[in-house]
Structure 1
């Protein structure tokens, strides 16, 4: 069976002071979302038009992703997307559950209401991105939301550990959820999570986070 054609990556919309980092972020999100397929080799000149940039920043970004273990260099051809096994993904999800669930539950008692409300625009962006089927924007907003939430616990090392685990993960089923019109349900959980946190409902937070991370497991099983 021929591989499913993936939607093109969104244009970056022009240079900004952190232009190189922006290219890295977009390519990383495309890898996590499964828009760049495991085992496939991609060249910088071929990817550049899909991002609306030249080949040089794409090549530099891919070299940065080599350091993160997301792609490997294929001499004279480009970069091969590294495969991640189901066992590895399950291990990442297990560690995330051990960290994210109790930490987020603890925020029901400690987080400032104003700090929680400050995350609502990101939650809304996640919902909007899901409705539009914009997987890159969805991945980026989701990452920013969860890391911003965990940062309220005041442990920078914990945030970096979760950032690394999320970068290593793959959500192969996102495209299928978009096509089935089901991504919105997972997206809405971010707003639900904020509401139970603001209600100081620790049990509710535990239930939402457990359900939410369970959806993540289904997303990478869908490939």
Structure 2
């Protein structure tokens, strides 16, 4: 038997590099506008340039990086108009999901959303903004998935992935964390009461505040967020 461990498959290496770079982008270890070369990434991750290039082209297709053929790669700068358009689409999909949930028999709806109710209405609030942001994302994904339309769920999951990088900034302040708990509980209560208009209004306002926060984001705030997320 060979004493050497088997080499990782090229696809596995590319996936590992892709996930590591995406984590760096989401954690703001790589900031919008940062430039780097394939060789720098390959050296840092102890792989060849081929899986690095595959990972970077995948990230380019997803809108996270730009390629500069003469000067390497760059983390894509924020296009705030694009993010706001995604928030608008998110509002449309989630309001439709609420409409469908309110039309379900009350016991069925309660069963579908029981885990959300336990977390947002019956558990002690968490203080860690990063963890709360993950639960917030799961809350909205679950609402749409519970409505039972696979295509709505797929499209919503895709846009959720695209806004994750900027959405996390909404949970670097204690008041926004508290508001998220309160508003999520109100949305669930209105759904359980089959009060579609109230649930949709609270949800729309809830997303609108997050959208407004996007407009306030500056490079200075991004730098602050990087410090907070790495403390």
TM-score category (smaller protein):
0.5 to 0.7
1:27 shift after superposition = 5.9
CA distance in 1: counterparts of 2:28 and 2:56, whole angstroms: 16
1:64–1:154 CA distance, 2 compared to 1 (3 A): same
Does structure 2 conserve the Cα–Cα contact (< 8 Å) formed by 1:126 and 1:142? Answer: no
- 2:175 pairs with 158, 178, 182, which one? 182
Pair 1:112 & 2:109 matched: yes
Alignment check: 8 A CA contact 2:66 2:76 kept: yes
What is the match of residue 4 of structure 2?
Answer: none
Name the CA distance, whole Å, in 1 between partners of 2:211 and 2:166: 10
Which residue, out of 154, 161, 181, partners 2:155? 161
CA positional deviation for 1:165: 1.8
TM-score by length of 1: 0.66
3-state SS in 2 of match to 1:112 = helix
Shift in Å at residue 155 of structure 1? Answer: 1.0
Aligned length: 196
- Contact 2:133 2:168 (8 Å CA) reproduced: no
- The separation in 2 between residues aligned to 1:186 and 1:30, in whole angstroms, is 28
Secondary structure of 1:37's aligned partner: coil
Contact kept? 1:174, 1:183, Cα under 8 Å: no
Q: CA 1:22–1:37 in structure 2 vs 1: closer, same or farther (change >3 Å)?
A: same
Contact 1:28–1:167 (Cα < 8 Å) also in 2: no
Distance in 1 (alpha carbons) for counterparts of 2:124 and 2:22? 17
Alignment partner of 2:148: what SS?
coil
Q: CA RMSD in A?
A: 4.0
1:70-81 aligned within 5 A: 70-73=64-67, 79-81=73-75
Q: Quick check: 1:151 aligned with 2:148?
A: no
Residues 88 and 193 (structure 1 numbering): CA distance in 2 closer, same or farther, change over 3 Å? same
Cα separation, 1, equivalents of 2:139 and 2:203:
13
Q: Which of 70, 76, 87 is matched with 2:81 structurally?
A: 87
- Greater gyration radius: 2
Cα distance in 2 for partners of 1:123, 1:79 equals: 41
Structure 1: any 5+ residue segments left out of the alignment? 1-17
Displacement of 1:76 after TM fit? 9.7
Shift of 1:95: 1.8
- Show structure 2 runs of 5+ residues with no match: 1-11, 218-231
